[in-house]
Structure formats: C-alpha cells, structure tokens
Structure 1
C-alpha cells in the first residue's frame, strides 16, 4: 500500500479546471519529484493533496485513509506537512519561535529535543536561533520553513519549489539537507524548477503538462528519456 495515493483527481479554482484525471503515488520513505512547465498544475496538485483544495472528481488517500474532504489541520494531525513556496515562515518571530510554532501538536516536553534534531540538520539555524526570521537570507528562511515542518516528525513532507530564488550555491545546500532528511525517514513529494537536480536525488518522478499526467518513471529513467529531456529538461 502506498503512503500517499492520488487517484484520478480533477480539481481547480472556481469555474477553471486545472487538473484532469491526475494520478500519482508516494511510497514509505520515497522521494518523488513533480516537474512540468509553468501552468502545468504542479502547485495545484500539492494544494489538493494538503486539503487547501478538494477534488471535484477522484480522491486522495494517505496511509490508507481517504483524506479528500479533510481540512489541512486534520491532514497535519495524520502525519503530513506542507512547505509552500511563499509565506512559509513567521517573519516577526525568531528562528526558535518559528520552530516552536511548527510543533503546535507536540507535547511541550518534547519540543526542546525536536529543536535540537532540527539544528543537527541545519547548524546555521542554531547559530541564528535568536534572530528574527524576517532578517535572514532566502536560503536561511527556507531552512526555517523546512525545520518548522519537520518539528512534528511527519511521515510525508510536501515541498513546493524549495530552491526558488536561491543562489546556485544555496540550492546545493538546501538539496543536500533534503536528501539527508529523506534518508532519515520521512517521504518527500517535491515540486521543483531545478528538475535535473531534483530527479537525480529522487526515487521516482512525474511530469505534468496542461494539468494531466504526461510521463512517469524513476528519477534516472526520466533524466535519460530523450523526449522528457527535449521538452522539459532543456536537453
């Protein structure tokens, strides 16, 4: 049984249909990447999985349960967290306070230990734990957002464009940490503009085009597919 299964989902906003009959799976401990051109529906998939949108047709299943009609807080309670591309931190709070906000379902006695685990992933955050997050660089903010999501020890983390707007050096740093996080346990479903790098690290991937499944396969298989390369990887 897949940890996450999106079954023939159609979804959109108002009268606009964005996704049409989209299906995908994420297994326990897997890293799976979604790529595609702008407007393909990648972020809409993430929002639909996380309950910010609800399918018009089809369903979303997590740990064997149909979560299609649940609200985001209910989905978080079941072990899924979401790191959106924008507005993903509390800029007026310190790094430490942001992590505490991420642990809103955890027992108070567990929070300190969980923070230390996050600092092991992101030593820079420990150095800056008393700094307001709004004063940090884009890469450091992304670390805060990811750290906050991990405070609840999720089974699955959704990440929407974690490298957006970052320098090439910082992109490498962020993906190094994403790989470490994935190897430590949680599955990761990631939408990413740096398709080459993300697919290299992924077990599997999906290519969306015009709101529909276009290709799927292993990360390496998609990287080597000439049509995927020509259409979506600049090859």
Structure 2
C-alpha cells in the first residue's frame, strides 16, 4: 500500500479548474519529484495534498486513510508536514523559537530530543540557534523552515520549490540535506523548477503539463526520456 495515493483528483480556485484527473503515489521513504512548466499545477497539487484545497472530484489517501476533506491541522496530526515556497518562517523569532513552534504538541524531553535531531541534520542552525530568522540568508531560512517541519517527526515531508531564489552553492547544500533527511526513512514529495537536479535525487517523478499527468517513471527514466528532456529539461 502506498504511503500517499492521489487518485484522479480535479480541483482549482473558484471556477478555474487547475488540475484535471491527476493521479500519483508515494511509497515509504521515497523521494518523488513533481516537475513541469510554470502554470502546470504543481504547487496546486501540493496544496491539495495538504488540505489547503479540497478536490472537486477524486480522492487523496494517506496511510490508507481518506484525507480528501481534511483541513491542514488535521493532516499534520496524521504525520505529514509542508514547507511552502514563501513566508515559511517567523522572521521576528529566533531559530530555536521557530523550531519550538513547529513542535507545538511536544514538551520536555521529547521537545529537546527533536531539537537535537534537527540540529544534527542542520549544524548551521545549531550555531545560529539564537539568531532571528529574518537576519539569515535565504538558504538558512529554508533550513529553518525544513527544520521546523521536521520537529513533529512526520512520515511525509512536502517541499514546494526548496531551491527557489538560492545561490547555486546553497542549492547544492539544500539538496544534500534533503538526501540526508530521506536516508532517515522520511518520504519526500518535492515540487521543483530545478528539474534536472531534482530528478537526479528522486526515486520516481511525475511530469505535469496543463494540469494533467503527462509522463511518470523513475528519476533516471525521466532524465533519459528524449521528449521529457526536450520539453521540460531544456535540452
């Protein structure tokens, strides 16, 4: 049974249909990359999975439970966390305070244990634990956002454009951290404009275009597909 199963969902905003009969799956401890041109519906798919939009048709199941009508706070309790592309940290709070907000249901030893785990994954955050997030670089803020999402020890992490706006060196560092997080057994669904790099690290991938499934396969299969390369990878 897949960890996450999106089965033929159609949804959008107001009367505007963005996704049409889209399906996908994520298995335990998989990295699955969603790629496609701007306006393809990638971020809309992620919002639907996290309950920020509800499908008009079709279903979304997580750990065998239908979560199609769940609200985000209910979905978090099932073991899924989401890192949006923008406005993903509390800029006026310190790194440590951001992490503690991410662990709003934890106290005492459990809270400290999760903070220690996050600081082990992101040593730079440990060094800057008392620094305000708003004074950090874009890449460091992305680490804070990811660390905060990991505080509740989810089984699925949703990442919306984790490399957006980052310098190339920091992009490499963020992707390296994503690989490290995945090696702990955490499944990751990633929407990413940096298609080549995301497919290189993905176990499987899906190509969306005009709100519909176009191609799916392993990351390597999509990288080697000449049509995918020509239309979506720039060569």
**What's the TM-score bracket when you normalise by the shorter of the two chains?**
over 0.9
| CA–CA separation in structure 2 for the residues paired with 1:211 and 1:12 | 10
Deviation for aligned residue 1:109: 2.6
Q: Does 1:192 align with 2:171?
A: no
For residues 111-126 of structure 1, the aligned pairs below 5 Å read: 111-126=111-126
Deviation for aligned residue 1:113: 1.2
Q: Describe the SS at the equivalent of 2:51.
A: coil
Match of 1:79 in 2: 79
Deviation for aligned residue 1:16: 0.3
| CA–CA separation in structure 2 for the residues paired with 1:108 and 1:46 | 33
Match of 2:229 in 1: 229
Using structure 2 for the length normalisation, give the TM-score. Answer: 0.99
Q: Does 1:55 align with 2:55?
A: yes
For residues 64-143 of structure 1, the aligned pairs below 5 Å read: 64-143=64-143
Tell me the alpha carbon deviations over residues 30-55 of structure 1, each in whole angstroms, 9 at most, x when there is no partner. 00000000000000000000000000
| CA–CA separation in structure 2 for the residues paired with 1:162 and 1:64 | 28
Using structure 1 for the length normalisation, give the TM-score. Answer: 0.99
Deviation for aligned residue 1:185: 1.3
Tell me the alpha carbon deviations over residues 149-179 of structure 1, each in whole angstroms, 9 at most, x when there is no partner. 0000000000000000000000000000000
Report the count of equivalent residues: 235
| CA–CA separation in structure 2 for the residues paired with 1:66 and 1:187 | 18
Higher mean Cα deviation, 13-22 or 113-122? 113-122
| CA–CA separation in structure 1 for the residues paired with 2:186 and 2:103 | 16
| CA–CA separation in structure 1 for the residues paired with 2:92 and 2:179 | 29
| CA–CA separation in structure 2 for the residues paired with 1:59 and 1:46 | 14
| CA–CA separation in structure 2 for the residues paired with 1:85 and 1:219 | 22
Deviation for aligned residue 1:70: 0.5
> In angstroms, what is the RMSD of aligned CA positions?
0.6
Q: Does 1:15 align with 2:7?
A: no
Q: Describe the SS at the equivalent of 1:99.
A: helix
| CA–CA separation in structure 2 for the residues paired with 1:25 and 1:156 | 12
For residues 165-184 of structure 1, the aligned pairs below 5 Å read: 165-184=165-184
| CA–CA separation in structure 2 for the residues paired with 1:203 and 1:148 | 25
Match of 2:38 in 1: 38
| CA–CA separation in structure 2 for the residues paired with 1:23 and 1:147 | 29
Tell me the alpha carbon deviations over residues 164-215 of structure 1, each in whole angstroms, 9 at most, x when there is no partner. 0000000000000000000111100000011111100110000000000000
| CA–CA separation in structure 2 for the residues paired with 1:109 and 1:61 | 32
Deviation for aligned residue 1:106: 2.3
Structure 1: any 5+ residue segments left out of the alignment?
A: none
| CA–CA separation in structure 2 for the residues paired with 1:62 and 1:197 | 27
Q: Describe the SS at the equivalent of 1:54.
A: coil
